């Protein structure tokens, strides 16, 4: 998830390169006002290529929680009272992308694609669907009239992409 501009907020799930037989690594990151450097890595307890899994972010005024299959893997707590910035006031969108094979994501040069060879290989995974669920507890009277009407009819703030 990310907002726009140089002072954006962003929540990342990043799947890192893997060698056969090693645990799959997932890295999470939180950007606040354009500043990241809050990376945390975790060995997944399963092979994410073998079955469907759910990757979720729960964000409210107190915390940002990263979940895998409804299991909490990281909590970024709001510590603004200690002078630590927290993402609170920017709308965010959901993005999906495939990045290049930089050293930080590929166990150094061990997994780096060589030349154009990687362009000839088919992708090993396919994103088949993405479901975004938004739960907002804002009073309806401050929403635009058309949004408030949809919410009253039971839309529930959930959309399918």
Q: Is position 10 annotated as part of the catalytic site?
A: yes
Catalytic residue among 14, 22, 70, 125: 14
Q: Six-digit token pair at 127? A: 């994103």
The answer to whether the CB of 140 falls within 8 A of the CB of 152 is yes
The answer to whether the CB of 79 falls within 8 A of the CB of 95 is no
Q: Is position 14 annotated as part of the catalytic site?
A: yes
The answer to whether the CB of 41 falls within 8 A of the CB of 21 is no
The closest of 16, 65, 64 to 44, measured between CA atoms, is: 16
Catalytic residue among 10, 22, 39, 70: 10
Is 42 strand, coil or helix?
strand
Q: Which residues are catalytic?
A: 10, 14
């Amino acid at each position: 998830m990310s907002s726009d501009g140089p002072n954006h907020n962003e929540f990342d799930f990043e799947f890192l390169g893997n060698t056969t037989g090693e645990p799959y690594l997932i890295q999470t990151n939180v950007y606040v006002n354009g500043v990241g450097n809050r990376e945390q890595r975790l060995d997944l307890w399963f092979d994410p290529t073998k079955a469907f899994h759910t990757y979720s972010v729960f964000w409210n005024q107190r915390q940002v929680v990263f979940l895998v299959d409804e299991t909490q893997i990281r909590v970024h707590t709001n510590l603004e009272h200690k002078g630590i910035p927290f993402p609170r006031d920017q709308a965010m969108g959901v993005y999906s992308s495939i990045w290049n094979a930089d050293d930080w994501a590929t166990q150094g040069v061990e997994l780096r694609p060589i030349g154009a060879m990687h362009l000839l290989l088919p992708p090993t995974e396919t994103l088949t669907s993405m479901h975004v669920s938004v739960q907002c507890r804002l009073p309806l009277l401050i929403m635009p009239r058309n949004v408030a009407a949809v919410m009253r009819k039971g839309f529930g703030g959930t959309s399918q992409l």
